[in-house]
């Protein structure tokens, strides 16, 4: 399944490397991370990592295949 | 390095968690508040309401200031607060609850001894939680427990247990959960009942005024507008404000800096941390990145990670400036969890590949300061298996792999390593793992591999010390260097276990002797720290000697094992030893004593929470054999069914116990051919066991007797020996049946006074004499002897010998003066007329029983599952007294006075 996750603020290149499995693009005042997510465990793991890095998830949606 | 050796707080605390690791005292201490901490009265006032409700939730993102709020509140509350910082290892309920109990103790609000403590990391006995709740519930002032970083404990099982304790402790407990994520407790129910106080992210956020005050304490003055803009930008996030203050402080023009930050678009933590980090001197940056791989550190450990010696100064400066570093007390520090995560990302990016080297260095430093758990964790994280295994072996902790305590934590990472390349320590660990799983073949392969490598090593080391003949095993205790002694001792322990599993007494004795010599060569302090090593050695040796039929020697080893320190780590071997001692009692004809030992072992295992899969099957098998002696055949069958542990093949003694109990049951049920087939089951072992062989002969003899083949019954027993009472009694019985009365009596007379065994044997012997007297026409003597036998059998309720005795016995009892008393105590129905005090025939469907209420039936069902009163109470959510009331009325309705009788009676009346 492919997901797209919207983070509040510009994510530095360095911190983006904490998510090697996702691509990212910096928007006006947000960062969009997107990519293949293996399963639900991966999804929840990602959410926990966002939280532990102090990142605010503002939107998250599954992309059509 | 000043802080190199004594491991600070841990060394002074004798108690340990169920994994055998000392409690980490830093997890019980209130986190220190930095000088710049801002007390926010509105939150404190809200939090004060925690004292009037059972559950309080402080819920917010990382760095929202949850922990400091709770710590500040707790520190100024003026009453004891039990504080526990959860960590990732608390997934295991046993460990979690052990830490909770220790937190209460540390806070000066200990629970009573009767509550007990969890013995197994992976589980906690429900009754223990019920006792804990009851203990808390009795308190005049509720115990306040704060669980910080509760998001580390995602286990639904623990959440359920917490809810259970909270519910039953009623007013005796105030729980404060500090967590980033919503806990799995039934919050909706608490909300509906108004029994919860919640402080959530929005409330934790700083207001503009608070932000201005906070920045003022950093020497930065802000206008109202600037403060509002900053709060807007950071969403009032405490960590963001703190970083912001630090970065501004370090900049040449703080005000401009703040303005620029407000206008920026970066993610707050990411950006600010990089800013603050980049302004640190290079040594401090390097140190921060490197310590991010450990959970907690001391200056010495930080030095080991950086390879320099400036850590002490840097850390105290960072702490003073409130930048990243938190003080845990007693010169232990940790990084703020939020920054640790980001710093690790920086580390990976800036110094790729360094992480595993850092884990390796941490493992080496920690192994020298004595923290085995952390050593193992970092050794495994570095993928340095041989070092990790070596740390375990050198610590003499190999026994923990055999008590089920550490096997999960260690077995899994080790499973990933390549076995072909294993060094001696690694081979020992793999051997221990396989032998514990009773995979004898693979275990022996690893053990042999370890032995070969160790022998080579000791030859090398001996050569370098002196010119003694290499491999002189007799002197190993004197010559081996201390490092190798631990490995050799571990090896000897595994040898004894291997000997037990393969039934080879010689091997066991040799290894036990070697172990005895090696004990001199290892540090006494390590042996004391690992009582399980001694307990396991004695248990395995005892089991092997028992198999070999050397019952007295076995008993002395096993009794020593039982007397070992009552530590969670020795629970399994002590339990196992008690089961074996019970078997010895049973073999010697003392079923009552055997039963008592098993019940003692079971109740201890239940109280401390040893998981059923680890409980020794031998105990249930002995109970089954005792039940057959008492003619409680259905119970024996149930016990036999429940004694098998799936996926764990029995050792020889257990296999023999199963064969004996099931063949006796089959004989009692008249299934002679099946009984004979059962005793012919082959038990793989290197030596034969005399009592197992003897038993096979006894069953064969009984089968022949049942078929009327008296000569064959005598034949199959072979020559008699005065030293084997069970055999002698059976031989006398067979000869009597074959008509050789004189010979039968001669055999019994030849038994020396002290060797006649317990009632199970003497009752049978007396019955043989009675039958002989009866046959000789001396009815008076026969009756006297039968009465004697009945009296001897009474205490142990031995019914089987009487049921097996044959028709002559009924005739004698039918003519007796007043044997009803004895008959009644045996719960057997005398033939002919009904006497006074006589009970209804067990299977009689006509017996009128007052109908049981639904609740009474619930209690009875749980009773049948061998649950204790406390467990039943916990399970039914009622008080212990209520259960007792139900039990009393069940007893009355069934006309019994004991639990076991109630269950039996209910089964016979088909109520269960």
Are the beta carbons of B146 and B81 closer than 8 angstroms?
yes
A-chain CB neighbours of B269 within 8 Å are 53-55
Q: Please tell me whether residue B827 adopts helix, strand or coil conformation.
A: coil
Mean pLDDT of B263-285: 82
The residue ranking higher by pLDDT, B633 or B895, is: B633
Q: How many CB atoms lie within 10 A of CB B813?
A: 21
Does residue A28 belong to the interface with chain B, where contact is any CB pair within 8 Å?
yes
pLDDT for the residue B81: 93
DSSP string for residues in B492-543: HHHHHHHHHHHT-HHHHHHHHHHHHHHHHHS-HHHHHH-HHHHHHHHHHHHH
**Least confident residue range of B121-135, B344-358, B400-414, B702-716:** B400-414
Distance from C-alpha of B452 to C-alpha of B180, rounded to nearest angstrom: 52
Distances in Å between the Cα of B225 and the Cα atoms of B208, B228, B251, B259 are: 9, 5, 21, 11
Indicate the DSSP class of residue B749. Answer: H
B-chain CB neighbours of A8 within 8 Å are 267
Inter-axis angle of helices B591-608 and B759-775, to 10 degrees?
A: 160
* CA–CA min distance B175, chain A (Å): 24
Are the beta carbons of B721 and B751 closer than 8 angstroms?
no
pLDDT for the residue B529: 81
Which residue, among A11, A28, A46, A54, would best test binding to B if mutated, counting the most B CBs under 10 Å from its CB? A54
pLDDT for the residue B421: 64
Among A12, A51, A53, beta carbon nearest to B266: A12
How far the first Cα of chain B sits from its last, in Å, is 69
pTM: predicted TM-score of the whole model, two decimal places: 0.72
Tokens of B74: 């707790």
Which residue, among A33, A53, A57, would best test binding to B if mutated, counting the most B CBs under 10 Å from its CB? A53
Q: Give the pLDDT confidence of B177-224 residue by residue, as tens digits.
A: 999 888 888 999 999 999 999 999 889 999 999 999 988 888 888 888
* CA–CA min distance B377, chain A (Å): 21
Domain ranges for chain A, please list them.
2-63
Q: Is pLDDT at B90 greater than 60 in this prediction?
A: yes
The residue ranking higher by pLDDT, B176 or B215, is: B176
Does residue A27 belong to the interface with chain B, where contact is any CB pair within 8 Å?
no
Distance from C-alpha of B321 to C-alpha of B316, rounded to nearest angstrom: 9
Distances in Å between the Cα of B456 and the Cα atoms of B427, B462, B491, B512, B513 are: 14, 10, 14, 22, 21
Chain B from 658 to 677: CB within 8 A of any A CB: none
Q: Which CATH fold would you assign to the domain B28-204?
A: Rossmann fold (3.40.50)
B-chain CB neighbours of A18 within 8 Å are 345
Distance from C-alpha of B135 to C-alpha of B461, rounded to nearest angstrom: 57
* CA–CA min distance A15, chain B (Å): 6
A-chain CB neighbours of B240 within 8 Å are 54
Helix intervals (H) in B218-281: 224-234, 238-250, 254-263, 268-279
For chain B, the average pLDDT equals 82
pLDDT for the residue B462: 46
pLDDT for the residue B624: 94
Q: Is pLDDT at B92 greater than 80 in this prediction?
A: yes
Half-sphere exposure of B623 (CA within 13 A, CB side): 26
Among B240, B271, B338, beta carbon nearest to A52: B338
Which residue, among B267, B269, B349, would best test binding to A if mutated, counting the most A CBs under 10 Å from its CB? B267
The residue ranking higher by pLDDT, B425 or B7, is: B425
Kindly compute the dihedral angle of the four CA atoms of residues B595, B599, B605, B610, in this order, to the nearest 10 degrees.
Answer: 60
Q: Is pLDDT at B266 greater than 50 in this prediction?
A: yes
CATH class of the domain at A2-63: alpha beta
Inter-axis angle of helices B807-815 and B779-794, to 10 degrees?
A: 100
Among A8, A9, A51, beta carbon nearest to B180: A51
pLDDT for the residue B463: 44
Are the beta carbons of B873 and B879 closer than 8 angstroms?
yes
Q: How many CB atoms lie within 10 A of CB B188?
A: 9
Domains B280-353 and B854-908 belong to one CATH topology: yes
Share of chain B above pLDDT 90, in %: 29
Domain ranges for chain B, please list them.
28-204, 218-277, 280-353, 385-529, 551-707, 854-908
Distance from C-alpha of B865 to C-alpha of B856, rounded to nearest angstrom: 14
pLDDT for the residue B502: 93
Distance from C-alpha of B240 to C-alpha of B706, rounded to nearest angstrom: 88
Q: Give the pLDDT confidence of B470-524 residue by residue, as tens digits.
A: 444 444 444 446 668 889 999 999 999 999 999 999 999 999 999 998 888 888 8
Does residue A25 belong to the interface with chain B, where contact is any CB pair within 8 Å?
no
Helix intervals (H) in B588-632: 591-608, 617-629
Indicate the DSSP class of residue B719. Answer: S
Mean pLDDT of B552-563: 92
How far the first Cα of chain A sits from its last, in Å, is 7
Distance from C-alpha of B515 to C-alpha of B493, rounded to nearest angstrom: 7
Among A17, A29, A55, beta carbon nearest to B349: A17
Which chain B residue's Cα is nearest to A8? B267
**Least confident residue range of B146-155, B176-185, B555-564, B837-846:** B837-846
Q: Give the pLDDT confidence of B812-833 residue by residue, as tens digits.
A: 776 554 444 445 545 554 443 3
Looking up tokens 């395995």, which residue turns up? B540
Distance from C-alpha of B823 to C-alpha of B809, rounded to nearest angstrom: 12
The residue ranking higher by pLDDT, B63 or B662, is: B662
Alpha carbon of residue B18 to chain centroid: 6
Count of residues for chain B?
A: 912
Among B62, B235, B346, beta carbon nearest to A14: B346
* CA–CA min distance B348, chain A (Å): 9
Does residue B338 belong to the interface with chain A, where contact is any CB pair within 8 Å?
yes
**Least confident residue range of B404-418, B546-560, B791-805:** B404-418
Does residue A31 belong to the interface with chain B, where contact is any CB pair within 8 Å?
yes
Tokens of B509: 């004795």
Phi and psi torsions of B461, nearest 5°: -70, -35
**Least confident residue range of B25-29, B261-265, B480-484:** B480-484
Query: Whose CA is closest to B30, among B204, B148, B199, B177?
Result: B148
- The sign of the torsion formed by the CA atoms of B330, B336, B337, B340 equals negative
Q: What is the largest CA-CA distance in chain A?
A: 31
Most confident region among B363-372, B373-382, B644-653, B689-698 by mean pLDDT: B689-698
Distance from C-alpha of B773 to C-alpha of B248, rounded to nearest angstrom: 108
Among B235, B338, B345, beta carbon nearest to A18: B345
The residue ranking higher by pLDDT, B324 or B216, is: B216
Q: Please tell me whether residue B801 adopts helix, strand or coil conformation.
A: helix
Does residue B201 belong to the interface with chain A, where contact is any CB pair within 8 Å?
no
Count of residues for chain A?
A: 65
Which chain B residue's Cα is nearest to A30? B265
Q: What is the largest CA-CA distance in chain B?
A: 121
Q: Is pLDDT at B906 greater than 90 in this prediction?
A: no
Q: How many CB atoms lie within 10 A of CB B781?
A: 15
Distance from C-alpha of B790 to C-alpha of B776, rounded to nearest angstrom: 21
pLDDT for the residue B559: 93
Q: Is pLDDT at A9 greater than 60 in this prediction?
A: yes
DSSP string for residues in B145-206: EEEETGGG---HHHHHHHHHHHHHHGGGEEEEEEESS--SS-HHHHHHHT-EEEE-HHHHSP
* CA–CA min distance A53, chain B (Å): 6
Strands A2-8 and A57-63: antiparallel
Q: Give the pLDDT confidence of B589-635 residue by residue, as tens digits.
A: 999 999 999 998 888 887 766 776 677 688 899 999 999 998 888 99
Q: Residue B187, class by beta-carbon neighbours within 10 Å (0-12 exposed, 13-18 middle, 19+ buried)? A: middle
Q: Which CATH fold would you assign to the domain B280-353?
A: Arc Repressor Mutant, subunit A (1.10.10)
Which residue, among B345, B346, B348, B351, would best test binding to A if mutated, counting the most A CBs under 10 Å from its CB? B345
Query: Whose CA is closest to B801, among B655, B678, B697, B702?
Result: B702
Beta partners for B179?
B59
Strands A30-36 and A2-8: antiparallel
pLDDT for the residue B826: 53
Among A9, A17, A52, beta carbon nearest to B267: A9
Distance from C-alpha of B757 to C-alpha of B593, rounded to nearest angstrom: 12
The contacts of residue B13 (CB under 8 Å, 6+ apart) are B22, B23, B25
* CA–CA min distance B152, chain A (Å): 11
**Least confident residue range of B733-742, B781-790, B825-834:** B825-834
Share of chain B above pLDDT 70, in %: 88
Please write down the long-range contacts of B571-574, taking CB distance under 8 Å and 24 or more positions apart.
B571/B119, B571/B120, B571/B403, B571/B604, B571/B605, B571/B608, B571/B610, B572/B402, B572/B403, B572/B404, B572/B532, B572/B610, B572/B614, B572/B616, B573/B403, B573/B532, B573/B535, B573/B536, B573/B538, B573/B539, B574/B535, B574/B539, B574/B601, B574/B604
Does residue A53 belong to the interface with chain B, where contact is any CB pair within 8 Å?
yes
- The sign of the torsion formed by the CA atoms of B543, B547, B553, B555 equals positive
Phi and psi torsions of B798, nearest 5°: -80, 105
Q: Residue B894, class by beta-carbon neighbours within 10 Å (0-12 exposed, 13-18 middle, 19+ buried)? A: buried
Query: Whose CA is closest to B600, among B641, B631, B571?
Result: B571
- The radius of gyration of chain B from alpha carbons, rounded to an integer in Å, stands at 35
Q: Give the pLDDT confidence of A27-54 residue by residue, as tens digits.
A: 888 899 999 998 888 998 898 888 888 8
Does residue A15 belong to the interface with chain B, where contact is any CB pair within 8 Å?
yes
Which architecture, in CATH terms, is B551-707?
Answer: Alpha Horseshoe (1.25)
Among A10, A17, A51, beta carbon nearest to B266: A10
C-beta atoms of A10 and B265 within 8 A: yes
DSSP string for residues in B376-435: HHHHHHTT-HHHHHHHHHHTTGGGGGGTTSSHHHHHHHHHTS-GGG--HHHHHHHHHHHH
Among A17, A49, A55, beta carbon nearest to B267: A55
Q: Is pLDDT at A24 greater than 80 in this prediction?
A: yes
The contacts of residue B865 (CB under 8 Å, 6+ apart) are none
Interface size between A and B, measured as CB pairs under 8 A: 70
C-beta atoms of B271 and A9 within 8 A: yes
CATH number at B854-908: 1.10.10.10
Mean pLDDT of A12-22: 86
Mean pLDDT of B728-742: 88
């Amino acid at each position: 399944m492919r997901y797209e996750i919207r983070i509040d603020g510009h994510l530095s290149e360095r911190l983006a490397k904490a998510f090697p499995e996702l691509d990212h693009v910096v928007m006006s005042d947000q960062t969009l991370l997107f990519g293949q997510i293996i399963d639900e465990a991966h999804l929840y793991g990602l959410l926990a990592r966002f939280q532990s890095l102090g990142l605010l998830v503002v939107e998250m949606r599954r992309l059509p295949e | 390095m000043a802080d190199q050796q004594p491991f600070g707080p841990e060394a002074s605390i004798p108690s340990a968690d169920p994994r055998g690791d000392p409690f980490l005292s830093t997890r019980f201490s209130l986190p220190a508040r930095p000088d710049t901490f801002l007390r926010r009265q509105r939150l404190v006032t809200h939090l004060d309401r925690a004292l009037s409700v059972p559950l309080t939730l402080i819920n917010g993102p990382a760095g929202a200031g949850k922990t400091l709020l709770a710590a500040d509140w707790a520190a100024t509350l003026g009453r004891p607060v039990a504080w526990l910082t959860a960590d990732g290892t608390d997934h295991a309920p046993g460990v979690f609850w052990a830490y909770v109990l220790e937190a209460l103790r540390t806070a000066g609000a200990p629970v009573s001894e009767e509550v007990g403590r969890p013995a197994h990391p992976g589980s906690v006995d429900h009754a223990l939680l019920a006792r804990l709740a009851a203990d808390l519930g009795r308190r005049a002032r509720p115990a306040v427990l704060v669980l910080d970083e509760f998001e580390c404990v995602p286990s639904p099982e623990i959440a359920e247990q917490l809810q259970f304790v909270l519910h039953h402790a009623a007013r005796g407990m105030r729980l404060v959960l500090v967590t980033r994520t919503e806990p799995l407790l039934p919050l909706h129910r608490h909300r509906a009942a108004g029994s919860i106080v919640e402080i959530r992210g929005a409330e934790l956020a700083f207001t503009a005024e608070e932000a201005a005050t906070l920045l003022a304490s950093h020497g930065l003055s802000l206008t109202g507008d600037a403060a509002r803009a900053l709060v807007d930008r950071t969403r009032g996030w405490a960590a963001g404000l703190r970083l912001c203050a630090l970065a501004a402080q370090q900049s040449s023009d703080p005000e401009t800096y703040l303005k620029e930050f407000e206008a920026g678009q970066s993610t707050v933590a990411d950006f600010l941390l990089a800013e603050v980090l980049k302004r640190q001197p290079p040594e401090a940056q390097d140190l921060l990145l490197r310590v991010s791989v450990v959970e907690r550190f001391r200056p010495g450990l930080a030095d080991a990670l950086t390879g320099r010696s400036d850590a002490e100064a840097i850390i105290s400066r960072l702490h003073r400036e409130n930048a990243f570093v938190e003080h845990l007390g007693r010169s232990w520090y940790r990084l703020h969890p939020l920054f640790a995560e980001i710093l690790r990302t920086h580390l990976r990016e800036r110094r790729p590949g360094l992480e595993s080297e850092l884990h390796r260095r941490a493992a080496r430093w920690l192994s020298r300061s004595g923290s085995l758990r952390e050593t193992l964790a970092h050794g495994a994280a570095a993928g340095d298996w041989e070092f990790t295994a070596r740390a375990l072996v050198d610590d003499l902790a190999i026994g923990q792999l055999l008590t089920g305590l550490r096997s999960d934590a260690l077995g899994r990472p080790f499973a990933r390593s390549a076995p072909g390349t294993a060094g001696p320590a690694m081979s020992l660990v793999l051997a221990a793992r396989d032998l514990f799983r009773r995979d004898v073949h693979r275990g022996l392969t690893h053990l042999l591999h370890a032995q070969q490598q160790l022998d080579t090593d000791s030859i090398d080391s001996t050569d370098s010390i002196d010119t003694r003949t290499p491999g002189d095993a007799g002197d190993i205790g004197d010559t081996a260097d201390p490092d190798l002694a631990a490995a050799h001792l571990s090896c000897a322990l595994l040898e004894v276990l291997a000997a037990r599993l393969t039934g080879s007494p010689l091997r066991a004795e040799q290894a036990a002797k070697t172990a005895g010599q090696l004990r001199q060569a290892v540090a006494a302090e390590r042996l004391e720290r690992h009582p399980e090593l001694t307990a396991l050695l004695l248990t395995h040796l005892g089991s092997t000697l028992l198999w070999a039929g050397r019952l007295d020697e076995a008993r002395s080893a096993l009794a020593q094992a039982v007397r070992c320190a009552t530590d969670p780590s020795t629970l399994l071997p002590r339990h196992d030893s008690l089961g074996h001692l019970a078997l010895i009692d049973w073999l010697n004809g003392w079923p009552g004593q055997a039963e008592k030992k098993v019940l003692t072992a079971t109740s201890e295992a239940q109280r401390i929470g040893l998981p059923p899969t680890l409980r020794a099957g031998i105990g249930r098998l002995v109970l089954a054999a005792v039940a057959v002696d008492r003619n409680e055949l259905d119970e024996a069958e149930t016990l036999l069914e429940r004694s098998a542990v799936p996926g764990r093949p029995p050792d020889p003694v257990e296999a023999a116990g199963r064969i004996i109990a099931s063949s006796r049951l089959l004989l009692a049920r008249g299934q002679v051919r099946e009984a004979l087939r059962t005793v012919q089951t082959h038990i793989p072992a290197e030596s034969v066991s005399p009592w197992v062989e003897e038993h096979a002969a006894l069953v064969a003899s009984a089968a022949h007797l049942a078929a009327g083949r008296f000569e064959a019954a005598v034949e199959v027993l072979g020559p008699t020996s005065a030293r084997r009472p069970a055999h002698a009694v059976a031989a006398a019985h067979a000869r009597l049946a074959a008509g050789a009365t004189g010979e039968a009596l001669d055999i019994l007379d030849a038994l020396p006074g002290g060797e006649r065994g317990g009632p199970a044997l003497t009752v049978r012997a007396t019955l043989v004499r009675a039958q002989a007297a009866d046959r000789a026409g001396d009815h008076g003597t026969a009756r006297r002897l039968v009465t004697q036998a009945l009296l001897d059998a009474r205490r142990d309720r031995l019914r089987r010998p009487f049921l097996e005795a044959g028709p002559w016995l009924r005739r004698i009892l039918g003519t007796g003066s007043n044997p009803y008393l004895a008959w009644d105590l045996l719960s057997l129905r005398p033939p002919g007329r009904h006497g006074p005090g006589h009970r209804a025939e067990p299977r009689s469907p006509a017996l009128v029983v007052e109908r049981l209420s639904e609740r009474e039936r619930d209690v009875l069902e749980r009773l049948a599952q061998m649950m204790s009163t406390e467990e039943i109470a916990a399970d039914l959510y009622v008080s212990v007294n209520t259960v007792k009331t139900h039990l009393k009325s069940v007893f009355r309705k069934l006309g019994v006075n004991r639990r076991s009788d109630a269950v039996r009676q209910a089964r016979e009346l088909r109520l269960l």
